[in-house]
């Protein structure tokens, strides 16, 4: 029963997330990336807590490690992309002649 409920919530959240992100204006990309970076940070902390438990199965430990690696990659690359996009909006200084 627990796995069925978890699968149902995952499918519903994936569908809802896809529909919401698909309709986002490009002007709102940077705030949306900041939000997903915050969610990825929460995922990293949760995965560390789960995989660091004393009495956890090997499968949970491996999946926790995969979640840590993928969330950290998403977090770092998201901040790099957001920083790059914000630099595009800064005024450029005229070239020295």
User: What is the pLDDT, as a whole number, of residue 78?
Assistant: 78
- Burial of 71 by CB count in 10 Å (0-12 exposed, 13-18 middle, 19+ buried)? buried
Identify whether 38 is part of a domain.
yes
Higher pLDDT, 19 or 24: 19
Query: pTM here?
Result: 0.58
Identify whether 80 is part of a domain.
yes
Identify whether 95 is part of a domain.
no
Band of residue 46 on the pLDDT scale cut at 50, 70, 90: confident
Identify whether 47 is part of a domain.
yes
Identify whether 94 is part of a domain.
no
Identify whether 1 is part of a domain.
no
Identify whether 3 is part of a domain.
no
Domain that holds residue 34: 26-88
């Amino acid at each position: 029963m627990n796995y069925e409920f978890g699968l149902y919530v995952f499918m519903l959240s994936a569908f809802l997330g896809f529909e919401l992100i698909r309709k986002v204006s490009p002007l709102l990309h940077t705030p949306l990336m900041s939000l997903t970076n915050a969610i990825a940070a929460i995922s990293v902390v949760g995965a560390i807590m789960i995989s660091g438990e004393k009495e956890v199965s090997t499968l949970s430990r491996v999946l926790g490690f995969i979640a840590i690696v993928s969330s950290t990659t998403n977090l770092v690359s998201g901040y790099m992309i957001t920083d790059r996009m914000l630099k595009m909006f800064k005024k450029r200084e005229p070239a020295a002649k």
